[in-house]
Structure 1
Amino acid sequence: MKIFRLILFFLHIGIGVLLLGTLLNAYILPKVFPWVNLLSLGFPILIIAYFLLTLFWIFTWKKRAVFFLLLGLAFITPVKRWINYSSDSKSSSNFKVLTFNVKGGHSGKENIERYINSQQADVVMLQEDGMKEFDFDGLKGGRKIANVSLYTKHKIIDQKDLIIGDYEWFNAYAQQTDIEINGKRYRFVAAYLQPFKFEKSMIKLNGNSGEDEEKLKNIVKRLIPTFKAHQEQVEIIRRAIDHSPYPVFVAGDLNAVPNSYEYYHLMEGLKDPFLEVGKGSGTSFHDYKFPIRIDYIFTSKNIEPVDYKVDRSVDLSDHFPVIGTFRLEP
């Protein structure tokens, strides 16, 4: 029994070190050392294992449980970026933003239009819209680029393309749009970072050690270059945020999970409304049986969030829509 507990102890230490490694994504660039960013993908599994081992030490009345509980405090906010339970805001909202990866509109243009119209959002940002021109009630579209589009009830003042892919291999897109709302201007950055282009068959292990090992190697071969490409894309979007004379909204499919390099550096100086008013799981990509949050809305710190939800009531894509309501000062 002593040997078993010793093995669990060192396993627990190792998991704790890996979890601490995810925090380094705030400082280490993928082009310098991309392997740290891999840890962010495994965060849900690592934190569950860490929690179960901590419970084991508590139930076996081991003093080391205190150490692991104290270390676990470092992971409270990282956990809340995946799953959170906030109290209801006392403010009333007067502004609504919806972001949705519609997967090429394969569920039908009319179905997507019907859903978006039912939400009555002030700003709608779509990704992977398949170059479709949607007709939403009371919303007008800005200048469209492939894979990213924006629709709004309000007056568009200026628009600028930030990242334009070639729709084949380099498939990242981003656009900034300055909008006037009740006499004040806001900058909206719609983003779709480079996808990993995985198919289910590419990541499903079948128990054959040789084939599974080859699959894992191929997965890493796709992840590492994409992490490095994301660094360049994040730097471009950061310039649009940092140089904005107006409060900022950043929304879209970032193809990056919480606690990743992309998350830390895009959210720098901004806030994640899910941390303040989100309830339940933030998982927005549901095609795999694994919690994956890759769709976000970030805002400037002076914008007050009232509610933030992932709408699981609709099945129009392999992503769920993400909806945020806010209170903008008149």
Structure 2
Amino acid sequence: MKNLSWFNKLAFFCNIVLTVLTFLAYVLPFLAPTWFPFLSVLTLILPLFLILNALFFMYWFIQFKRQMILSGLVLLLGITFINKFYKFSSKNIETSDKDFIVMSYNVRLLNLFNWIPRDNVAEDILHFVNENNPDILCIQEYSTSASAKIDLKIYPYRAIFMKGDKIKTGNAIFSKFPIVNEGKIEFPKSNNDAIFADIKIGKDLVRVYNIHLQSIKISPDVSEISENVEGINQQKSQQIFKRISEAFKKQQQQAEIIMDHKKGCKYPLVICGDMNNSAFSYVYRGIKGDLQDCFEQAGKGFGQTYNFRYYPARIDYIFAGNNMRVKSFTNFPDFVNSDHLPVMTRLAIE
């Protein structure tokens, strides 16, 4: 430290603070959000921490300062997190007639309230589904109030669970294969829920979960955050972080309900849905368990699933059991007909 300029001393202090925050973000997926709900927010920006650590490492490396060791160690410890954020290559596996394709998509009530100023959003979604032709389609925020515009005739089997009086909303599973059993998993004191369907694929039964966890309610254009940064509105910033913290606690409860439910299933599992949280979170780690994250197995790039203005957020997932082979994974960053983006995977039961 003595041989550092005043600027480098300040830079190294910031480097130390960043290191502490990064280590906390590494540990938080293993700790229940109810213990440290406020700190759990750090898991949302762990990729940013990794990028900043890489910049610090390069800064010290160029000067050949031993301070580079600090960020170097942080990056080395975080190497297992990189695949969750960015995949450098995708799989190229031969397809088969026995494969089946699963798509998951939060359609935001099929634009019922015209969030997107276009009249043909529902029709575009219908055309997109028909064009990609998945065998199993899991939809979150489905609305029977708007479904007249999206008649999915290619699916003879469906499990649809709605709630609400005037406007019916909920989750839906559409399938080309027979559904032999279905059910709904209620979440306490929440408008969110999960559903499941046991689907006969050839000789096998596969359980498909379609889940929608508590939202943290940050708009895609992050206007709330931007306004608070510009206006330095401390009170409103505290309200936002409190709201996110409360959402994380609810997500933990919901995730644990799903974890308990799936323990009783003896069939191969596929879990789809909008988890409203990052791949570095406690709820992701809990729900995924020993399943495969299809993006990690066969995706490419950032795998963005939320139309967030400044950040390639991945909060929608498809998990598959280890008795399945993940042959491909696709996200659709240019198909903006909701605040979420669809994801699709090709699977084969081994």
**For 1:97, which of 83, 87, 102 is the aligned residue?**
102
CA deviation digits over 1:75-129, x for unaligned, max 9? 1221221211234233425111100111110153322111111111011001112
CA deviation digits over 1:238-281, x for unaligned, max 9? 12222211111111111111101111111112121211211011
Q: Is the 8 A contact 2:93 2:328 kept in 1?
A: no
Stretch moving more, 229-238 or 82-91: 82-91
CA distance in 2, matches of 1:104, 1:257: 23
CA distance in 1, matches of 2:125, 2:90: 31
**For 1:29, which of 29, 32, 55 is the aligned residue?**
32
Letter in 2 for 1:4: F
In structure 2, the gaps of 5 or more residues are 112-119, 163-168
What is the match of residue 173 of structure 1?
193
CA distance in 2, matches of 1:282, 1:219: 26
CA distance in 1, matches of 2:187, 2:255: 13
CA distance in 2, matches of 1:309, 1:244: 27
What is the match of residue 57 of structure 1?
60
Cα drift, residue 208 of structure 1: 5.0
Is 1:136 matched with 2:152? yes
CA deviation digits over 1:208-265, x for unaligned, max 9? 5542x22311211211111111111001111222221111111111111110111111
Pairing of 1:67-78 with structure 2 (within 5 A): 67-78=70-81
What is the match of residue 5 of structure 2?
2
Cα drift, residue 163 of structure 1: 2.1
CA distance in 1, matches of 2:15, 2:229: 26
Report the number of matched residues. Answer: 325
CA distance in 2, matches of 1:95, 1:249: 12
Q: Is the 8 A contact 1:205 1:215 kept in 2?
A: no
What is the match of residue 123 of structure 2?
110
Q: Is the 8 A contact 1:250 1:299 kept in 2?
A: yes
| Structure 1 residues 178 and 28: alpha-carbon distance in aligned structure 2, compared to 1, 3 A threshold | same
Stretch moving more, 116-125 or 12-21: 12-21
| Structure 1 residues 124 and 203: alpha-carbon distance in aligned structure 2, compared to 1, 3 A threshold | same
Cα drift, residue 303 of structure 1: 1.4
What is the match of residue 328 of structure 1?
349
Is 1:119 matched with 2:142? no
SS at match of 1:104: helix
What is the match of residue 229 of structure 1?
250
CA distance in 2, matches of 1:27, 1:265: 9
Q: Is the 8 A contact 1:307 1:325 kept in 2?
A: yes
What is the match of residue 117 of structure 2?
none
CA distance in 2, matches of 1:18, 1:55: 19
Stretch moving more, 7-16 or 277-286: 7-16
Stretch moving more, 197-206 or 126-135: 197-206
What is the match of residue 196 of structure 1?
216
CA RMSD of aligned residues (A): 2.0
**For 2:305, which of 264, 267, 284 is the aligned residue?**
284
CA distance in 1, matches of 2:349, 2:101: 10
CA distance in 2, matches of 1:224, 1:100: 25
Pairing of 1:131-280 with structure 2 (within 5 A): 131=144, 132-133=146-147, 134-139=150-155, 140-145=157-162, 146-163=169-186, 170-199=190-219, 200-205=222-227, 208-211=230-233, 213-280=234-301
